[in-house]
Copies of this chain bind each other. A is one copy, B any other.
Amino acid sequence: MTHGDRDEHHSATGTKDVPRRRSRRTGRFRDTPTACVSPYIVRRIPGFELLSQEALEGVETQADWLLAEIGIRITGDPGACALFKDAGASVDGDRVRFDRGLVRSLCATAPSTFTMHARNPSRSVVFGGDNVVMAPADGAPFVTDMKQGRRYGTIKDHQNLTKLLQCAPALHHNPALICEPSDVPVNKRHLDIVCSQLRYSDKPIMGAVSTPERGEDTLELARIVFGDGFLDDHAAVLAGTAVQSPLTFNAETTGAIRTYATANQANMITPFIIAGAMSPATMAGTLAQAHAEAMAGIALSQLVRKGSPALYSVFVTTMDLKSGAPTYGTPESSLANFAIVQLGRRLGLPVRCGGHLTGSKLLDAQAMEESVASMTPPVMAGAHFIHQSAGWLEGGLTIGFEKFIADAEKCSSIARLLQGLDVDDNTLAGDAFLELGDESNFLGCGHTLRNAATANIRTELPDSDSFEAWTDRGSKDTRERAYTLWTRILEDYEKPPINSAVDEELTAYCTRRKASMDDAWY
C-alpha cells in the first residue's frame, strides 16, 4: 500500500476521490469482501419515506414558527449574534429571531456533496448523493470488555479501538473521541487523540471542539499531514459539535463552528435531544425543534464562510417518561429518525443520524435488539453519515470491545443490504432450473457452484452451526465469541504506513505544544 499523505494529496483534484487501487486489508473481517473494496457504501436501494409531503411541511412550518417567534439563544458569543444580525435576523439580548424562510435560505450555500479527505486517498469518503459513510461510537468516558470490565478509558484503549476501526471494512471514518483517554491531562488530550487517529488509522479524522485553541491544534496537525495549502480547499477534518437543546448554542459550540468553517473544514452541528427533556415529549414538535436547531447551526457555518461543508445532523431518542432514563431503539425514536432523514434530504444536504444505540451495559440481547432497531431508520430512509455505528453501550457512556465487533460486522451486512437485489439472467437462474431435472436440491448445480462465493456475504461472529457442534465448542454466547474475535484482530493488526518525516513532525508539534502547558486534569 502506498500511503497518500502530503505528496499524493497535492496532486489530487479534490472533487472526487475514486479509489485508485484496492487497499491492502489489515486485520480480519476477511470474509466480508463487499465493503473492503470501497472506502464507503454506494446505496442502490430506495429510501423509505415515512411522512407525507403534508406532514413534512407541517414540521417545517413549525420550525419556521420556532425560529421566528421563539428564536435561538446564542450565549457568550456576540460575534455570532452579529453575523446573524448582518444577515437579517433580529437580535434581542442573546436571543436571535429569523423571518420565516431566512435560516433555510442561509443553508443554501452549503454544498450538497463533499469529500472528506483521508491521508490515504483511497480511504477518502464522499458525503451526500447515494453514499453512506459509517463511523463508530463517539465520546464515551468508559470502556468495557469481557475480561477487564468497565473502567475509565486510556490512550491505550483509544489506540486499540482505533486499530479495530481501521480493520473494519464497513466503518469508514474516525469519530472525534472513540474513547476518552483519561490518563492524559485534559488540556493535552486532543493532541494525543488526533495523533492516534492519524497514526493507527488512515481513514478520515474528526477534530477537537472543546476550545478554539484545541481546534487550531487539530488543524495544524492536519496541515502537517496533508500539506500547508491543502486544507484551504479540501475538507480533511470533521468537527462535531452539539447544540445545547432546547434552542440554545453556547460559546464552545459557536466557537468551534467558527474555527472550522473559517478553515473551510466540515461542520456537523448536532441537536442532542432526549425527547421529553431537551424537547417536547411528542415527536412532531421534537422534529420541528431539531430542524430549527440543525438549520441554525448550518446557517452560522455559512455566514462564517459561504460554501464551507456542513452535514445536516440530528440526534433524537426517547426517554422513559416515568423514570427519566433515556431509551434507545424505541418505536417512537425510530419514527423520529425516519423523519429526520426526510427533513435533511429535503434541505439538499448530506444527512447524519444513527446508529447502533442501546442502553444496555454489555453485548447482550437488549444491546442488539435496540441497536438494530435504532440503525434501521438511517439505513432504510437514506442517511449519508451514520455516526455512533459501533461499540456504543449504556447510552453512549461506555464503548465496549465486544459490542464494537458485533456492530462492525453488522455494518458489513448493511453494506451488502444497501447493494440491493439484482434481477438479471444470472440471478434469475434459468440454467439452474434446467439443470435440476429430478434432483431434490440445487447444492450440486453448476449455477450454485458458480455463485457460491459471491451470493452471500460471510460474517464471523454468528454461530449458525448445530446445537451439538456449538455445545462441543463450549456453548459460547455471542459475547464470548466476540471477545475472541477482537483480540485476534488486534493481534493481526498492521499499522498503516505513514511518511516518517510527517510522523516526526507530528511528534515534534505535540511535544512543543505540551511543553507550553501545565497539566490540567479537569
Q: How many copies does the complex hold?
A: 2
Whether a CB of chain B sits under 8 angstroms from the CB of A520 is no
Q: Is the CB of B246 within 8 A of A442?
A: yes
Do residues A282 and B426 form an inter-chain contact, with CB atoms below 8 A? Answer: yes
Tell me the chain A residues, 35-55 only, with Cβ under 8 Å from chain B: 45-46, 48-51, 54-55
Within 8 A of B (CB), among A296-355: 318-328, 330-332, 334-336, 338-339
Which residues in B have their C-beta under 8 angstroms from that of A413? 330-331, 373
| Nearest B-chain residue to A436, judged by Cβ | B246
- Which residues of the other chain, B, contact A422 by a CB distance below 8 angstroms? 284
Cα separation A462 to B359 with both chains bound (whole Å)? 8
Given contacts A321-B455, A365-B406, contact A421 B49 (CB under 8 A): no
Within the assembled complex, what's the spacing in Å between the Cα atoms of A369 and B456? Answer: 17
Assuming A51-B423, A359-B464, A365-B367, is B380 touching A451 (CB within 8 A)?
no
Residue of B nearest to A441 (CB): B277
- List which A256-271 residues lie within 8 A (CB) of chain B: none
* Residues of chain B lying within 8 A (CB to CB) of residue A278: 441-442
Chain B residues with CB under 8 A of A429? 280-282, 284-286, 288
Bound CA span A398–B467, Å: 10
Question: Given A366-B462, A470-B361: A279 and B442 within 8 A (CB)?
Answer: yes
Q: Is B332 a contact of A456 with CB atoms below 8 Å?
A: yes
- A59 at the B interface (CB under 8 A): yes
CA A420 to CA B283, docked complex, whole Å:
11
**How many residues on the A side are at the interface (Cβ–Cβ under 8 A)?**
118
What residues of chain B lie closer than 8 Å to A424, measured between beta carbons? 284
Within 8 A of B (CB), among A92-109: none
Residue of B55, B318, B324, B366 touching A421 (CB-CB under 8 A): B55
Among B55, B62, B372, B441, point to the contact of A372 (Cβ < 8 A). Answer: B372
Asked whether any CB of chain B lies closer than 8 Å to the CB of A58, the reply is: yes
Within A387-432, which residues are at the interface with B (CB < 8 Å)? 394-395, 397-398, 406, 410, 413-414, 416-417, 420-424, 426-430, 432
Shortest distance between the CB of A31 and any CB in chain B (Å): 9
Find chain B residues with CB under 8 A from A367 CB: 365, 368, 478
Given the known interface contacts A327-B456, A369-B372, the answer about A477 and B58 at a Cβ–Cβ threshold of 8 Å is no
Check A458 for interface membership: any CB of B closer than 8 A.
yes
- Cα–Cα distance between A420 and B478 once the two chains are bound (Å): 33
Interface presence of A289 (CB below 8 A): yes
Please tell me if A515 contacts chain B, counting CB pairs below 8 Å: no
Is A427 touching B50 in the complex (CB atoms < 8 A)? no
Cβ A327 vs Cβ B365 within 8 A = no
Q: Is A518 an interface residue (CB 8 A)?
A: no
Task: Give Cα A434 to B289, complex, Å.
Answer: 13
Q: Is A475 an interface residue (CB 8 A)?
A: yes
> Is A484 on the interface with B (CB-CB < 8 A)?
no
Query: Within 8 Å CB of A477, what residues of B?
Result: 362, 364-366
Closest B residue, CB atoms, query A275: B455
The smallest C-beta distance from A313 to any residue of chain B, in angstroms, reads 20
Q: How long is the Cα–Cα vector from A276 to B289 in the complex, in angstroms?
A: 49
Minimum Cβ distance to chain B for residue A141 (Å): 11
Return A298 CB to nearest CB of chain B, in Å. 21
A317 to chain B, nearest CB (A): 10
Known: A50-B46, A361-B475, A452-B281. A58 touches B428 (CB 8 A): yes
Chain B residues within 8 Å of A467, by CB? 150, 361, 394, 397-398
A333 to B138, CA, bound (A): 31
The CA of A370 and the CA of B330, in the complex, are separated in Å by 17
Complexed CA–CA distance, A515 and B316 (Å): 63
List of B residues within 8 angstroms of A320 by Cβ: 456, 458, 464
- Given known contacts A58-B423, A359-B464, A432 and B280 CB-to-CB distance under 8 angstroms: yes
Picked from B66, B325, B447, the residue with its CB within 8 Å of the CB of A281 is B447
A288 surroundings in chain B (CB, below 8 A): 428-429
Quick check: is A70 within 8 A (CB to CB) of the other chain? yes
Which of the listed residues A326, A364, A475 has the most CB atoms from chain B within 10 Å of its own CB? A364
Q: Of residues A331, A372, A453, which shows the largest number of chain B Cβ atoms within 10 Å of its Cβ?
A: A331
Cα–Cα distance between A467 and B49 once the two chains are bound (Å):
36
Instruction: Indicate whether A465 reaches chain B with its CB closer than 8 angstroms.
Output: yes
Q: Which 6 A-B pairs have the closest CB atoms?
A: A285-B429, A280-B429, A284-B427, A331-B417, A368-B369, A365-B478
16 new A-B pairs (CB below 8 Å) besides A248-B440, A322-B458?
A51-B421, A58-B423, A58-B428, A150-B467, A246-B441, A282-B426, A283-B421, A318-B455, A320-B464, A325-B466, A330-B413, A334-B417, A360-B463, A361-B470, A361-B475, A369-B406
Give 13 A-B contacts (CB < 8 Å), ordered by A residue: A46-B48, A50-B421, A55-B423, A58-B428, A275-B455, A280-B432, A282-B427, A284-B422, A284-B424, A320-B456, A321-B456, A335-B421, A365-B406
